[in-house]
Amino acid sequence: MQNDMKKMIACILFLLAGLSAVHAGIQDGSRWYVGNLDYTAKVNVDKTITFTSMAEGEELMFRLTPNYSKPGEYTLSDEPGGDGYNPYGRAPRVKFIDEDGMKLLCLYDQQDQLQDVLDGMARQEGETEAVDKWDIQLAGRYVDKYGDTLLLDRGMIYEIPRGGDGMSEREGAAQATYEHIPFNGTVTGIIRISDSAHLDGTWEAVITLDGLTLYRVAEDTYGIYQRKGGKETLRWAREDFPRFNYTWAILLNDGQFRRLKKTTLRIMRNEILARQGYRFHSKDLQDYFSKFTWYQPLEPDEYGQPNKIEMLNIQLIKAEEAMSDEDRFVKEE
């Protein structure tokens, strides 16, 4: 009987150690950011974890149950008895990553495709975080239809004098400003430009392979912005700098990349490898990247290694490419 008691105590201690390891990084009350949403984690008595958020007045809710045979992994399901909507019904497996100063929850579908990533290190409200991330994706140098080079940088539009490089510092005076117009806290891509002769007004900004396309929009009777005809094209102005360089620094968990055509997504994904000096077997990819001065192909044993964010972004893009066009929300023409 004494031996049985020792075995029982050992078993309890083992389970407690497992529970401690499982929840080492997911604390009760912690916040997890994805898109424009903030989820709050609640650790339940049975060691499951309930995540809740609000989106346009609707409660979102799902539960994670630890997989004790695989520490750091969870099964995702509806919240039992909860009234909230589970937006991740297609992502039954979750992996927790706690490394390099990051705390991430990676959500995988039944085909093991990465569907989304919840960031546990966000330090701002969801809407503010989403706006900042969108600003980073818009930032860069572009050429307008008049041949003028414009620098977009966090709400400001600078005109770079011809002959200036605009690299070490902003050149010229601020030509214009832009502000974001969210909808119920969601970054929609709608911006309002002021103090610009030909760009004044309200636009839907869509990232493209070649730059930005601005579609003129107007508010309908329901407060939704609709394209009303007319657009301006801003062409990416730097052959010495990767078009989607931001993918090394920010997670694509804000959903903006899901608005791109699959042909653009393919370039975005492979640009991450091109920045590491990868030589492509596909002739079209090799020819495409060889046009740019920043691309320096290396021998296979010299390739760089994408960082953790880049690797996750590759997986997110691949999952989006695998979706049918009917299930995607594409805004790029």
- Give 264-275 pLDDT, tens digit per residue: 999 999 999 999
**Band of residue 189 on the pLDDT scale cut at 50, 70, 90:** very high
pLDDT of residue 311: 97
211-223 mean pLDDT: 94
Check whether 145 has a pLDDT greater than 50.
yes
d(CA 267, CA 299): 21
Residue 311 C-alpha from the chain's centroid: 13
**Band of residue 125 on the pLDDT scale cut at 50, 70, 90:** confident
146-157 mean pLDDT: 93
pLDDT of residue 55: 87
Average model confidence (pLDDT) for the chain? 88
The least confident of 103-107, 210-214, 219-223 is: 219-223
Check whether 16 has a pLDDT greater than 50.
no
pLDDT of residue 44: 95
pLDDT of residue 12: 46
**Band of residue 56 on the pLDDT scale cut at 50, 70, 90:** confident
The least confident of 24-28, 167-171, 289-293 is: 167-171
Q: Which residue has the higher pLDDT, 18 or 60?
A: 60
Q: Which distant-in-sequence residues (6+ apart) come within 8 Å of 92 by Cβ?
A: 75, 76, 77, 108, 109, 110
- The 10s digit of each residue's pLDDT in 227-251 is 998 999 999 999 999 999 999 999 9
Q: What tokens were used for 3?
A: 């031996």
Distances (CA, A) of 295 to 20, 140, 241, 281: 46, 18, 9, 15
pLDDT of residue 4: 58
107-136 mean pLDDT: 91
Amino acid letter for position 320: E
Check whether 14 has a pLDDT greater than 50.
no
Q: What tokens were used for 285?
A: 């990819």
pLDDT of residue 184: 77
Check whether 20 has a pLDDT greater than 90.
no
pLDDT cut 70: percent of the chain above it: 89
d(CA 46, CA 205): 46
Q: Which of 121, 96, 116 is nearest to 31 (CA)?
A: 121
pLDDT of residue 100: 85
Q: Which residue has the higher pLDDT, 162 or 248?
A: 248
pLDDT of residue 19: 46
* Burial class, 260, CB count within 10 angstroms (exposed 0-12 / middle 13-18 / buried 19+): buried
Cβ contact 195:176 at 8 Å:
yes
Check whether 5 has a pLDDT greater than 80.
no
d(CA 184, CA 32): 19
Cα Rg, the chain, nearest whole Å:
23
**Band of residue 23 on the pLDDT scale cut at 50, 70, 90:** very low
pLDDT of residue 36: 87
77-101 mean pLDDT: 92
pLDDT of residue 13: 44
Instruction: For the beta carbon of residue 168, count every other beta carbon within 10 angstroms.
Output: 7
SS3 per residue for the chain: CHHHHHHHHHHHHHHHHHHHHHCCCCCCCCEEEECCEEEEEEECCCCCEEEEEEECCEEEEEEEEECCCCCCEEEEECCCCCCCECCCCCCCEEEEEEECCEEEEEEECCCCCEEEEEECCCCCCHHHHHHHHHHHHHCEEEECCCCCEEEEECCEEEEECCCCCCCCCCCCCEEEEEEECCECCECCCEEEEECCCCCCEEEEEEECCCEEEEEEEEECCCCCEEEEEEEEEEEECCCCCCCCHHHHCCCCCCCHHHHCCHHHHHHHHHHHHHCCCCCCCCHHHHHHHCCCCCCCCCCHHHCCCCCHHHHHHHHHHHHHHHCCHHHCCCCCC
**Band of residue 38 on the pLDDT scale cut at 50, 70, 90:** very high
311-322 mean pLDDT: 96
